[in-house]
Structures are given as C-alpha cells and as structure tokens.
Homo-oligomer: A and B are copies of this chain.
C-alpha cells in the first residue's frame, strides 16, 4: 500500500493537529494548510488572514491570532519579533538563524550548519538556555 494520501494535504495536516493535541477544526485545518503546504515561511497574522480571505476561507482575524499562538505553544511554529511593529511566525522550527533585510523587513533562513559558534558564555545563575538566535542584519 502506498503512503497516506497527501494529494490535498488533508490527512497530514489533520494528523499534525491531532498529534499536537489541537482539535482539528475547519479553521485550524485551513490555516495549517496555508502555513505548511509548501516549504518554510515567515508570516505575520495579517498576511495569513489575507491569504485566507483570498482563498475564500472564512476565518476571523481573532481566530488567526488564536491559531498562530496555539500552534506556537505546541511547537508547530516559532514566533520571531525583530522589528517591533509586528511579529512573524516561522514554520521552520528546527535550529536555524536569520538574515534580516532592514529595508524590506524580510526574513530569510540560515541553516544551522552555516553558523558556527565557537564560544558562548554560560547564563548567569546556571539558568537553562532555551535557544540561541543569531540575526544578521543586512542593509538591503
């Protein structure tokens, strides 16, 4: 037997939500499809909301925020706030870093192995490190 059907992305998204302990509602399914359909992306709430509208997916902005936060809490997304005006959600949750293009405000992933850190200080008080972010700000 072949793999689970993936043609429309249905089953996969459904499973991802279930595995995360999130009830697969119509809205979450639709948003998850938009987010995870193709390769990694960085989206703002407003962007995702507009994409949903463009595809006639009827969701409220509040639901988009709820979903993004729920997904983040369950490690399906990672939140990034570089530019204080709005935050972005990254579908790439593995270790990696970012280029930040100051002019456009765009983010681009940098694979973890492209950055080598030889020395890092210990957090004071022996606190646990939750992650290390490297942001290369680019004048472009």
Residues on B with C-beta less than 8 A from A130 are: 102, 137-139
In the complex, which of the residues B101, B114, B140 contacts A119, with contact meaning CB atoms closer than 8 Å? B114
Chain A interface residue number, banded: 35 or more
Residues on B with C-beta less than 8 A from A135 are: 132-135
A118 touches B118 (CB 8 A): yes
A34 within 8 A of partner (CB): no
A15 within 8 A of partner (CB): no
In the complex, which of the residues B83, B110, B123 contacts A136, with contact meaning CB atoms closer than 8 Å? B123
Identical chains bound together, number: 2
A124 within 8 A of partner (CB): yes
Residues on B with C-beta less than 8 A from A46 are: none
A115 within 8 A of partner (CB): yes
- A98 to nearest B CB, angstroms? 10
**A54→B90 CA distance, assembly (Å):** 41
- Beta-carbon nearest neighbor of A125 in chain B: B140
Chain A contacts with B in 99-121, Cβ cutoff 8 A: 99, 101-102, 108, 110, 114-121
**A117→B136 CA distance, assembly (Å):** 12
**A53→B28 CA distance, assembly (Å):** 47
In the complex, which of the residues B119, B127, B133, B138 contacts A129, with contact meaning CB atoms closer than 8 Å? B138
| Chain A contacts to B: CB under 8 angstroms | 81-84, 86-87, 99, 101-102, 108, 110, 114-121, 123-125, 127-140
